Amino acid sequence: MKTTKLFDLSGHVAVITGGNGGIGRGMAIGMAEAGASVAILGRNEEKNKNTLAELKKIGIPAMAIQIDITKRAELEPAIKKVEHELGDIGILVNNAGIAVLSGGILNETEEEWDNLMETQLNAVFLLSKLVAKSMVEKKRGKIINIGSMYSFFGSNFAPSYSAAKGAVIQLTKSMAIELAPYNIQVNAIAPGWIETDMTAAVKTMPLYDEIILRTPAGRFGYTEELAGTAVFLAAKASDFVTGETIRVDGGYAIR
């Protein structure tokens, strides 16, 4: 098989939560350019429309669904809508997320903790469960979860975020073991510090200088720099890769 075919996503349907901005948008564009039909799930209708317009310019079938993934009753109808309009889902990217910079467990409220866990962890479990059922029947599929550097490191200013992202990596490994017999690969991407709306506030903090000094690349990454890793994990090229977490961090984690 030609190498280019290993990364060809033509004929596949990808669902990307939080695909209307930041890292999610970068991965959505990357998969569309590789030939996949793309459905983005996001809360912000304006951002949904803008990203959907970009996807349609590429010339692939695409759709956007306005949804709050913390509302569990909305998840299955959204998945069924994608299947009805685009076809069987072969790729799921659990990307949607929030961060609570609470300053530690002494400051973080129960409500903040619960909301973050519902977004960053529970939705990953629930959406994966919904989509995996169809993937098991078809005996093929790719699930990509988005971790973080804080999947590995503790955080004194965002404990719920670190806890959830650590759990996502363990969930990835567990799902990978369970679903491998059905030719379903489950992997994760752990972005380093990437230029997004979520990380914008960090640039005003003393932490910013520490990040730059620690990162061998000497800068924050760009959202499009995760697209290649996402396409690899979504494509035939990664059929014998499962349960792995690929760091895209400019070398941040090696120091």
Q: What is the pLDDT of residue 125?
A: 98
Tens-place pLDDT, residues 159-203: 999 999 999 999 999 999 999 999 999 999 999 999 998 888 888
Confidence of residue 147 (pLDDT cuts 50, 70, 90): very high
Of 150, 161, 182, 208, the catalytic one is: 161
C-alpha to C-alpha distances, 197 to 18, 37, 101, 242, nearest whole angstrom? 12, 26, 14, 30
161 is catalytic: yes
Distance, CA of 56 to CA of 230 (rounded, Å): 20
Do 228 and 7 touch, CB atoms closer than 8 A?
Answer: no
pTM of the full predicted structure?
A: 0.96
What fold is seen in the domain 3-254?
Answer: Rossmann fold (3.40.50)
Do 39 and 82 touch, CB atoms closer than 8 A?
Answer: yes
How confident is the model over 17-23, as a mean pLDDT?
A: 97
Q: What is the pLDDT of residue 152?
A: 96
Distance, CA of 249 to CA of 196 (rounded, Å): 14
Instruction: Give me the residue spans of the domains in the chain.
Output: 3-254
